[in-house]
Amino acid sequence: GRSMAVFTSGGDSQGMNSAVRSVVRMGLYLGCRVFFIHEGYQGMVDGGNNIIEASWNSVSDIIQKGGTIIGSARCKDFRERAGRLKAAENLLQHSITNLVCIGGDGSLTGANQFRKDWAGLVQELIDAGRVPASKLAECPNIQIVGLVGSIDNDFCGTDMTIGTDTALHRIIEATDAVVSTAQSHQRAFVIEVMGRHCGYLALVAGLASEADWCFIPEWPPPTNWRELLCEKLAQMRSEGNRLNIIIVAEGAIDRDGSPISAELVQKVITETLHYDTRVTVLGHVQRGGCPTAFDRLLGCRMGAEAVLALMEMTPESEPCVVSIDGNQMVRVPLMQCVERTQAVQKAMDNKDWDTAVRLRGRS
């Protein structure tokens, strides 16, 4: 059977454990050897105890856990060729030529770079006498499948990323809790949620919690937003609402590109309307807790599909991402998704909001 390895990289998200479990069990079921790489690319570069063979039972009792039990990291070394050379050496030691990378667009870009370098890296290791000459024929290339784990839902090419649904649940729980106290005291609450480049969490949380207003990075408000916001809040109060909820994505900006922070919104409301206005920054609470049924199932399905994809790949196959499209698992070229995700960012940098929103949606 083939040898494959699974690792998690970049920010953690709930449901990653379910995906790891599914990769291990589907791999074993199909007669493969499966390895964990602990601590993302750092573990790949450092090797040693970071690369450990998985067994059926080593993934028992993890599906309900948040975060990632095999650890995640950001790794400078892997950005350099020298780091990738070490990583290749460590993988060759175990004859691993199939990788499932669970991470965000950065991690998947790194995986793609690794594959591009692979043949050259192996040749360099042979020339240096660090691996036997037979390795090039044995491991001519590295097959890669990416799964997107990110609470932000910031990746183009999949309807949902692993961890988004759970983060939304945390946000809704916290917002509901805040609403009960706000109602008693006639307050305005400004709630900051995660999403530096992507307003998905803010937008969906806004809809699901009946927020009065939402600020997101992809669609900055009109330049007179201060007046519009205050008019809207005052109108809600005059209609008998005892509270206001405003959701701000952490990356929210105005049309000039300057940040709209929760504190700024608070200042605008207190100075104009003199409402008792409180800021709640949800922070890491959004990343915590147990994964929802949706994220467990998503991880499960994506992990199994990733192994099936690897089994069908040849050394010539381009890396793919397993994504969910209309509730089906589909395989999409990895670089196509990464490039589109980066194009969204570029459009936002260029203040071309129409393009950003169009690219974010389905093609």
Q: List residues with catalytic annotation.
A: 152
Distance of CA 358 to the CA centre of its chain: 20
Say how far apart CA 208 and CA 205 lie, in whole Å.
5
Query: Please, which residues bridge with residue 103 across strands?
Result: 148
Shortest distance, position 1 Cβ to ligand ATP, whole Å: 28
Pick one of 15, 43, 71, 110: the residue that binds ligand ATP (CB under 6 A): 110
Residue type, 64: Q
Residues 37-56 that bind ligand ATP (CB under 6 A): 41
Residue 21, number of CB atoms within 10 A of its CB: 25
Shortest distance, position 86 Cβ to ligand ATP, whole Å: 13
Closest to ligand ATP by CB, 9 or 323: 9
106 is a contact residue toward ligand ATP (CB under 6 A): yes
Shortest distance, position 194 Cβ to ligand ATP, whole Å: 10
CA distances from 361 to 6, 201, 249, 333 (A): 29, 15, 18, 17
7 is a contact residue toward ligand ATP (CB under 6 A): no
CA distances from 71 to 6, 16, 20, 144, 346 (A): 11, 10, 11, 20, 31
The string of DSSP letters for 64-97 reads: T-SS-TT-----SGGGSHHHHHHHHHHHHHTT--
Shortest distance, position 103 Cβ to ligand ATP, whole Å: 4
74 is a contact residue toward ligand ATP (CB under 6 A): yes
Shortest distance, position 218 Cβ to ligand ATP, whole Å: 16
342 is a contact residue toward ligand ATP (CB under 6 A): no
Pick one of 33, 79, 94, 278: the residue that binds ligand ATP (CB under 6 A): 79
78 is a contact residue toward ligand ATP (CB under 6 A): yes
Structure tokens at 259: 């940040």
Pick one of 113, 123, 241, 317: the residue that binds ligand ATP (CB under 6 A): 113
Closest to ligand ATP by CB, 163 or 303: 163
For residue 134, with 0-12 CB atoms within 10 Å meaning exposed, 13-18 middle and 19 or more buried, which class applies? exposed
Residues 171-230 that bind ligand ATP (CB under 6 A): none
The answer to whether 292 and 304 are in contact (CB under 8 A) is: no
Structure tokens at 125: 């290791």
68 is a contact residue toward ligand ATP (CB under 6 A): no
75 is a contact residue toward ligand ATP (CB under 6 A): yes
Interface contacts to ligand ATP, rule CB under 6 A: 9-11, 41, 74-75, 78-79, 103-107, 109-110, 113, 150
